[in-house]
Amino acid sequence: MSDSVKKWHEMQEEKKLSSTTATSEGKFIYESPDGGITVTKRPFNEIKGDKEVRKQAFTLLVQYPEEVVRMAYKILNSI
């Protein structure tokens, strides 16, 4: 077999192995709100939402210690 064919087979094996343990890290979503005129790229796990809410959430994380934020999260989840 030629080197390129061997390499192709190796890549297929790696693909099989990685598909069973695949994560979304390093993957992107390409979006186009205007039918393809403008295309934006964002990380797959990015939290999309209202910018004002995200800004307030960031402010909360900066103003309060981590344990306070975690306790608030637990309280919200128990409701």
- Per residue in 39-69, pLDDT (tens digit) is 888 787 766 677 788 888 888 888 999 999 9
Distance from C-alpha of 17 to C-alpha of 78, rounded to nearest angstrom = 39
Identity of the amino acid at 37: I
Is the entire prediction scored with pTM above 0.75?
no
Contacts with 45 (C-beta within 8 Å, 6 or more apart), sequence order: 24, 25
Tell me what pLDDT residue 51 has: 75
| Residue ranges in the chain assigned as alpha helix (H) | 3-20, 51-63, 66-78
Task: Give CA 14 to chain center in angstroms.
Answer: 22
